[in-house]
């Protein structure tokens, strides 16, 4: 008996080691079309592999957010698919595991049992499957299904790569109305909270789908929306609104661009600065941006705001003119800026700018007087809810215009931007000086440093 017990423990240990080697998730991408130019629409599924814990400890499974991360990594590796929509799909998957614990076969069944568990259904990969059985294992899961469109190969090449979408989701559960279990708020109430999250820009990017997801509930009507284990259609069910959306890229602020422009001008003192302007450029790639294009289609796509400097170069002098007879080059330009948002009308912003310039005379006593070198009017895109100051939106460089859910809830405002040559001693003052903070506080609601 002692020898049998030792042998059993050895087998269990080997089985546990094999179970650890089994992938937690699988992707069903074997039947994706290879000729992308002939593909119009397709989908790919990502599913968890359920594992049974030892000694009746329940089911071990990844969270749905982990499944989403797995799908995003797959999209980055492929670099050829755009995501049209996403959904959660309940299914029975079939996997085959060899003696090494590796998945050697996988399949999605085309039917889904809606009654109590059948004899052929397993809760997850168990000790039995890793030691004795080589038969296919079936279990119910909640998959992530991405509906895919191929990128247009004519717009990209080896140097210019497409922007690979990254997908995220958020669940909105119905709240209990009373202390009585099972009494929840209506779909309209949950949708209102969803809209509040969109208006507050808690959901950033393009909404791909809003799915009404059926989640199995406990006897106390509690649900685990992150669970990837699917239950049959028995018992208690709570409906959850699951929002799938494509994350927008994160770009540095325009203030950072102006600091870079200032450094470039200081490193190239031979050029003569003329003007600076903000331009919206259509964004097709995260690697290369064509800032020289002179025509765009604005009803689709995303845009990034760049800073364009216009400058002149010194003329080349004839060789017979001595260098000593020419004028010395002007001192390098160090660019700073102030932004004034049009809140009520242009009359008010004119008054605020004049008052700001009148307070500006203290700079004459500094080592270098700030010089006003350029002014421009720029568009500011902000949500109708105005959950953050317009001055903050004015410093954003990325805009998802007309192609995302944000465009339906956004308004175009305007701002006046003043560009200064602050001189060498003004650069650190702009970035960290206490006086700049005092100015920002004094001009709160109208101007920004």
What are 293-328's pLDDT values in tens digits?
A: 777 766 556 788 888 999 888 777 666 666 555 566
Beta strands in 257-319 (DSSP E): 272-283, 302-312
Q: CA-CA distance, 401 to 298, in Å (whole number)?
A: 8
pLDDT by residue (tens digit) across 385-419?
Answer: 555 677 777 777 776 554 444 454 567 888 898 99
- Give 165's DSSP letter: -
Taking the alpha carbons at both ends of the chain, their separation in whole angstroms is: 81
Backbone angles phi, psi at 368, to 5 degrees: -145, 120
Q: What is the predicted pLDDT for the residue at 267? A: 87
Q: Determine which of 18-32, 224-238, 403-417 has the lowest per-residue pLDDT on average.
A: 403-417
Q: CA-CA distance, 76 to 87, in Å (whole number)?
A: 19
Of 408, 423, 436, the closest CA to residue 332 belongs to 423
Please give the helix or strand (H or E) that residue 373 lies within, else none.
strand 371-383
Alpha-carbon torsion, ordered 16, 21, 22, 25, to 10 deg = 130
Global pTM value: 0.63
Q: CA-CA distance, 249 to 229, in Å (whole number)?
A: 32
Domain extent listing, the chain:
24-246, 254-448
- Give 316's DSSP letter: P
Q: CA-CA distance, 84 to 39, in Å (whole number)?
A: 14
Q: What is the predicted pLDDT for the residue at 249? A: 66
3-state secondary structure (DSSP) of residue 187:
helix
Tokens encoding 276: 């600076």
Locus of tokens 């004519």: 154
**Pairing relation of β-strands 42-48 and 25-28?**
antiparallel
Between 265 and 235, name the one with better pLDDT: 265
pLDDT by residue (tens digit) across 279-297?
Answer: 888 777 655 677 887 777 6
């Amino acid at each position: 008996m002692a020898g049998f017990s030792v042998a059993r423990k050895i087998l269990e240990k080997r089985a546990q080691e094999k179970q650890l080697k089994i992938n937690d998730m699988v992707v069903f991408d074997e039947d994706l079309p290879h000729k992308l130019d002939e593909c119009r629409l397709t989908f790919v599924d990502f599913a968890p592999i359920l594992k049974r814990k030892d000694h009746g400890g329940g089911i071990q499974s990844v969270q749905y957010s982990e499944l989403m991360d797995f799908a995003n990594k797959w999209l980055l590796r492929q670099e050829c698919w755009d995501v049209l929509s996403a959904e959660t799909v309940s299914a029975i998957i079939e996997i085959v595991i060899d003696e090494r614990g590796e998945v050697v076969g996988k399949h999605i069944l085309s039917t889904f049992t809606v009654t109590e568990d059948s004899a052929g259904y397993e809760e997850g990969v168990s000790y039995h499957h890793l030691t004795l059985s080589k038969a296919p294992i079936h279990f119910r899961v909640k998959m992530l299904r991405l509906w895919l469109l191929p990128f247009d190969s004519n717009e990209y090449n080896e140097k210019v790569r497409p922007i690979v979408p990254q997908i995220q989701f958020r669940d909105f559960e119905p709240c209990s109305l009373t202390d009585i279990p099972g009494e929840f708020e209506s779909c309209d109430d949950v949708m209102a909270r969803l809209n509040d999250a969109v208006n507050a820009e808690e959901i950033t990017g393009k909404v791909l789908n809003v799915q009404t997801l059926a989640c199995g509930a406990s006897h106390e009507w509690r649900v685990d929306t992150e669970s990837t284990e699917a239950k049959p259609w028995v018992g208690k069910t709570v409906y959850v609104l699951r929002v799938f959306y494509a994350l927008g890229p994160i770009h540095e602020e325009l203030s950072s661009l102006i600091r870079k422009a200032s450094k470039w001008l200081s490193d190239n003192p031979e050029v003569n600065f003329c003007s600076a302007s903000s331009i919206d450029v259509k964004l097709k790639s995260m690697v290369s941006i064509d800032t020289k294009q002179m025509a765009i289609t604005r009803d689709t796509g995303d845009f990034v705001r760049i800073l364009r400097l216009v400058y002149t170069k010194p003329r080349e002098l004839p060789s017979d003119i001595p260098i000593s007879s020419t004028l010395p080059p002007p001192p390098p330009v160090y660019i700073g800026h102030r932004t004034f948002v049009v809140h009520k009308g242009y009359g008010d912003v004119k008054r605020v700018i004049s008052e700001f310039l009148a307070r500006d005379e203290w700079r004459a006593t500094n080592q270098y007087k700030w010089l006003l070198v350029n002014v421009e009017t720029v568009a500011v895109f902000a949500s109708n809810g105005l959950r953050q100051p317009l001055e903050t939106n004015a410093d954003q460089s990325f805009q998802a215009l007309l192609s995302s859910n944000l465009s339906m809830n956004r308004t175009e405002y305007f701002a006046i931007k003043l560009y200064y040559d602050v001189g060498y001693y003004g650069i650190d003052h702009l970035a960290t000086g206490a006086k700049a903070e005092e100015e920002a506080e004094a001009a709160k609601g109208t101007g920004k440093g």
